Amino acid sequence: MEDIKNPYSLNSKAVAEATKYWLHKRGVTLEEIAELVLFLQQKYYPNLTIEECVHNVEMVLSKREVQNAVLTGIQLDVLAEEGKLFTPLQDMIENDESLYGVDEILAFSIVNVYGSIGFTNYGYVDKLKPGVLERLNDKTTGQIHTYLDDIVGAVAAAASSRIAHRKQAEREQELGLPHAPEDTEEAARKLAAEDGLE
Amino acid sequence: MEDIKNPYSLNSKAVAEATKYWLHKRGVTLEEIAELVLFLQQKYYPNLTIEECVHNVEMVLSKREVQNAVLTGIQLDVLAEEGKLFTPLQDMIENDESLYGVDEILAFSIVNVYGSIGFTNYGYVDKLKPGVLERLNDKTTGQIHTYLDDIVGAVAAAASSRIAHRKQAEREQELGLPHAPEDTEEAARKLAAEDGLE
Amino acid sequence: MEDIKNPYSLNSKAVAEATKYWLHKRGVTLEEIAELVLFLQQKYYPNLTIEECVHNVEMVLSKREVQNAVLTGIQLDVLAEEGKLFTPLQDMIENDESLYGVDEILAFSIVNVYGSIGFTNYGYVDKLKPGVLERLNDKTTGQIHTYLDDIVGAVAAAASSRIAHRKQAEREQELGLPHAPEDTEEAARKLAAEDGLE
Amino acid sequence: MEDIKNPYSLNSKAVAEATKYWLHKRGVTLEEIAELVLFLQQKYYPNLTIEECVHNVEMVLSKREVQNAVLTGIQLDVLAEEGKLFTPLQDMIENDESLYGVDEILAFSIVNVYGSIGFTNYGYVDKLKPGVLERLNDKTTGQIHTYLDDIVGAVAAAASSRIAHRKQAEREQELGLPHAPEDTEEAARKLAAEDGLE
């Protein structure tokens, strides 16, 4: 009957599930992010399917580093929507202040995990605001997505980088060229072969 | 009886003052940050004074980019202390989870503004935790400084970079060597000469 | 009569001048970079002039951090053009390999100095390749600008961030609003007032 | 007798092998990097073996992003050693100029791939210069390792981050706790089980 608090330890499954839950609750589907990926990559890979894009978005979202950024950004959006941040941070996030760039900083930490080739794609979709990004930027809804729109663009850019690395691997294998697998890539390929996934 | 809301515009003075206010309220003085700077730089510049360090810390804190990171980080610490974040983000920030690195991401955005030569200093103080950083890391107080300790180390590292750039300028001028001033440096020097500051 | 080598010390003027020299030698004018800035910023500041853009590009190029990245990038381009890099780095830079992102890494270090609000502008021009960037990407000339095109886009993005910060300062001053000057801004303003520059 | 050049395409195996070759040729062994990892991580994981550290260093070095940074950095060191860079870049790299931070920029791109938790470890070893880093910093040999010392520290920091993520996964599995695998982790685990490696 004691009130002994369990010592803390990270529950990675809870973090992964919260990431999916909050993206969904804030109105963003994996398919919408995948459409941004297709928008960015289909000119380079004409046969790229939306299913492949969804799979790559899921893989990006499985990264702890990405989950941390998504959860922190959405948390700040939600608190801003509820008016619970202190002044003047509340005003800056509520109004998506153009000199406030912490949202870009968090977004960039997502892009970085899949390497520097994603920098350009991130900036491009963040400026053009296609698809879901246009909706997230609609300031008439009362919802605040100062962080989420950048985060969604960053996940799409990261998934694009992931695809570029995979396509290189596929190409070398199909042509029978020498190939040096990246970290855990060989392993993933074996599993995918068993599952018929990739 | 109208409900006309003033259109938003950034109030830069309010942001600057909030930054000082919240650092003070969370128990960090400019002198303590300056001591970290002295710790990092005195072996390179034996004549460096604590007053110069304080001045450089103030200049770093005058940057909008830095203020945004400081305010966002402290806000997350305060909300975690009040138990107001959603699970599992609450647990991760409350416990300074080692696989949660958004605090480092924010800190790094501060270091970056004064260039890459600050990277090493940041990592060094963040690991050693001298002075004020040791106090901020004391987990027995009930206070949560998951973000603030990294931010304070980052401000000290940025101030160290600022000093290194200034000392090069001073050196060239004293020796009568050709010198190319950096962005606004010439201007700052003129003003400082009038004020007798630098 | 000895062959005593002077001890090394940085010659900041030589670094600044080499930066201008090499940009010019590689065929890029400040006006062309300024046009990218105007392209990025004129919808936000309709009265922005090309002269202001040139001034901001010059200020960005006065930063040591920026000069280092420009010189290093151009050096690698030149060596690749001369075929003097080792294999397979020679091939990757010569062919602007899409999985080689060190050029983006260097470019990004330029953007970072003026803060996170430049991330988006960098990615946008790097993708669209307007003006001078189109010429630098022409692969039929025998010239190699794998680094330079990213660097030029980054300088333009950094100058855009600089303008955004300055315009906020100007706006607050014109409206008589409270204003907190950023690092050396006050000083720069005084000097500019004397010079009638800004 | 034709002079038809094959169209370029990345040869990933050649890039991976050149990375190993050049590290070896510049006098750095994987074991030495692994010792830095052990230095950084053994207080957190007392049972960590040098073999595990070597394995993690190899995995870090299998990443294309890492290989690109390693090759570019070593290339610049070698050219500086041969006196083939233009002035004043030659002087800055030859003398490991303290205001020249492009070496840190490249190193940081390595750390970033394994996430923000490596920032601190990178700065720490880069300042302390234990083991192999002390040798690389010896300025009396005529060799120039301005880039390589930072790169080696970055690879060690990245490997440390990789270990931290893996240890969390192992811990959750051993305790029968719920676990959410990261990108390709599940696959890697299966393969490792077959191979008896991890």
Report the sign of the C-alpha dihedral through residues C71, C72, C73, C74, in that order.
Answer: positive
pLDDT tens digits, D66-104: 999 999 999 999 999 999 999 999 999 999 999 999 999
The CA distance from C72 to D89, in Å, is 7
Measured CA to CA, the distance from residue A155 to residue A161 in angstroms comes to 10
Nearest to C187 by CA among C177, C178, C176, C198: C198
Please tell me the distance from the alpha carbon of residue B129 to that of residue B139, in angstroms, as a whole number. 13
Predicted confidence at residue C2, as pLDDT, reads 39
Question: Predicted confidence band at D145 (pLDDT cuts at 50, 70, 90)?
Answer: very high
Q: What is the pLDDT of residue A195?
A: 63
Q: Provide mean pLDDT across the span B97-119.
A: 95
Q: Is residue C100 in a domain?
A: yes
Indicate if the pLDDT at residue A119 is higher than 50: yes
Smallest Cβ distance to C105: which of D15, D87, D109? D109
pLDDT of residue B198: 43
- Pick from A146, A46, A132: which is nearest to A93 by CA? A146
Length of chain D: 198
In a domain, B58, yes or no: yes
D3: CB partners within 8 A, 6+ apart: none
Could you read off the pLDDT of B39-98 as tens digits, one per residue?
999 999 999 999 999 999 999 999 999 999 999 999 999 999 999 999 999 999 999 999
Could you tell me if residue B40 is inside a domain?
yes
Would you say residue C32 lies in a domain? yes
Does residue D15 sit at the A interface (CB-CB below 8 Å)?
Answer: yes
Asked if the structure places residue D22 within a domain, the reply is no
Q: Which residues of chain C have pLDDT under 50?
A: 1-4, 197-198
pLDDT digits 0-9 by tens, A1-52: 334 456 788 999 999 999 999 999 999 999 999 999 999 999 999 999 999 9
- Residue entry with tokens 């990246």: A182
Question: What residues of A are in contact with residue B71 (Cβ under 8 Å)?
Answer: 86, 88-89
Across the interface, whether the CB atoms of D191 and A190 are under 8 A apart is answered yes
Does the beta-carbon distance from B119 to D127 stay under 8 Å?
no
Q: Find residues 72-91 of chain C whose CB sits inside 8 Å of chain D.
A: 72, 75-76, 78-79, 84-89, 91
Yes or no, beta carbons of A121 and C121 under 8 Å apart: no
- DSSP, residue by residue, D118-143: GHHHHHHHHHH--THHHHHT-TTSS-
Largest CA distance in chain A: 66
Q: Which residues of A touch B68 (CB under 8 A)?
A: 92, 99-102
Touching check for A140 and chain B: CB below 8 Å?
no
Look at C164 and A123 and tell me if their CB atoms are within 8 Å. Answer: no
Do the Cβ atoms of A126 and A136 come closer than 8 Å?
A: no
Quick: pLDDT tens for D121-134.
Answer: 999 999 999 999 99
Q: Which residues 173-192 of chain A have a CB within 8 Å of chain B?
A: none
Length of chain B: 198
Is C159 a member of any domain?
Answer: yes
| Burial of B141 per CB tally in 10 Å (0-12, 13-18, 19+) | exposed
Closest CB to B62: pick one of C116, C181, C190: C181
Q: How confident is the model at residue A191 (pLDDT cuts 50, 70, 90)?
A: low
Which among A101, A119, A164 has CB closest to C104?
Answer: A119
How much is the pLDDT for A14? 96
Residues of chain D contacting residue B117, judged by C-beta atoms under 8 Å apart: 98-99, 101, 104
Identify the domain containing residue A112 by its residue range. 26-195
Task: Provide the pLDDT for residue A59.
Answer: 96
- How long is chain C? 198
Specify if C184 maps to a domain: no
Mean pLDDT of chain A: 92
Per the structure block, which two tokens stand in for A125?
A: 């979709």
Check pLDDT > 80 for residue D158.
Answer: yes
Domain membership of residue B18 (yes or no) is: yes
Q: Which residue has the tokens 């070496």?
A: D103
Which CATH number do you get for residue C18? 1.10.3760.10
- Inform me whether the pLDDT recorded for D144 exceeds 90: yes
The predicted pLDDT at position D7 comes to 77
> How many structural domains compose chain B?
1
Residue B26 has pLDDT above 90, yes or no: yes
pLDDT, tens only, D1-57: 334 456 788 999 999 999 999 999 999 999 999 999 999 999 999 999 999 999 999
Q: What is the mean pLDDT of residues A147-163?
A: 97
State the average pLDDT over residues A141-157: 97
Phi, psi values for residue C165, rounded to 5°: -65, -45
pLDDT of residue C5: 55
